[in-house]
Amino acid sequence: MPMLFQCGPRTLDLSTVKVMGVLNVTPDSFSDGGQLFSDNTLNNSMALKRAEQMVREGAAIIDVGGESTRPGSAPVPIDEELSRVIPVVELIARELDVVISVDTSSPEVMLEAAKVGAGIINDVRALTRDGALTAAASTGLPVCLMHMQGLPQTMQDRPEYDDVVSEVANYLLQRVSQCEQAGIARSNIWLDPGFGFGKTDIHNLQLLQQLPQLVELGLPVLAGLSRKSLLGRLLGRDVNERLAGSLALAMLAAQGGAKILRVHDVAATVDVLKIQMAAASA
């Protein structure tokens, strides 16, 4: 499995598990939508301060997203996504020493973000939008391919699988093949099983339990389990009361072989990983 990645101007070492901090520059994301807006306008300085905080807390990657993909969310016009994402990526790249991931499915955003300092393309649609494969390949950046059954508007309408783990694995391998044909090196690809994206609670738990099977595909695995609706149903907790559950899932994902944890609560997750590492090396 590749461990060193050239992420634009910065290098990322995945020999140990890394934390990716979520920076949603959206008014409607399920957990933190609107927190960086004042008078319905995105406040770039607030976005930078939030990124600074996550870097201080130990985030190795800041994941900037300008389009909510929560269940039932509607697509965002490309001009609006560009206006949200590009200034924030440019500002963080100029001010902070951190790898920047851009959470987008839009080829236009991929290209522009790469120009201003983004180092990773993180696509919940696995580069299936028209032009996305070509755009991602042209940037030369690492890409993260996620599995999603359906679209955000409909993905939680009775998702069904015969074998969720094998179907997710097969889909991701097909997308890896498409990426390679488009000129993206296999050594520059990460995989994300897409927890909560077209999966029931049982599907999510089966994927988590059998995460080592996805790790065995030989590419770094990203796990995004922070504050998921799964926790609300399992624990009866509101979205802002899911820290303990999120940390439990983060620990399980790291134990299962995930190399990148995409989280809202950076400091607490970093603490969990430190404890895990200390126990493993004792």
| Intra-chain end-to-end CA distance of the chain, in Å | 25
Q: Is 199 part of the annotated catalytic residue set? A: no
CB 256 within 8 A of CB 276: no
Instruction: Identify the active-site residue in 228, 233, 242, 274.
Output: 228
Active site residue 228: yes
What is the maximal distance between C-alpha atoms in the chain? 52
pLDDT tens, residue by residue, 38-74: 445 557 888 899 999 999 999 999 999 988 776 666 7
The domains found in the chain, sorted by start residue, are 4-281 (3.20.20.20)
pTM for the full predicted model: 0.92
Say if residue 155's pLDDT is above 60: no
Q: Is the pLDDT assigned to residue 89 strictly greater than 80? A: yes
Indicate the average pLDDT of the chain: 91
Question: Could you tell me which residues are beta bridge partners of residue 23?
Answer: 64
In this prediction, residue 1 has a pLDDT band, given cuts at 50, 70 and 90, of confident
Per-residue model confidence (pLDDT) at position 252: 97
Question: Region 219-223: what's the mean pLDDT?
Answer: 98
pLDDT of 151 over the 80 cut:
no
Q: Per residue in 94-123, pLDDT tens?
A: 999 999 999 999 999 999 999 999 999 999
Q: What local confidence, expressed as pLDDT, does residue 60 receive?
A: 98
The per-residue DSSP string of 110-162 comes to HHHHHHTT--EEEETTTT-STTHHHHHHHHT--EEEE--SS-TTTTTSS---S
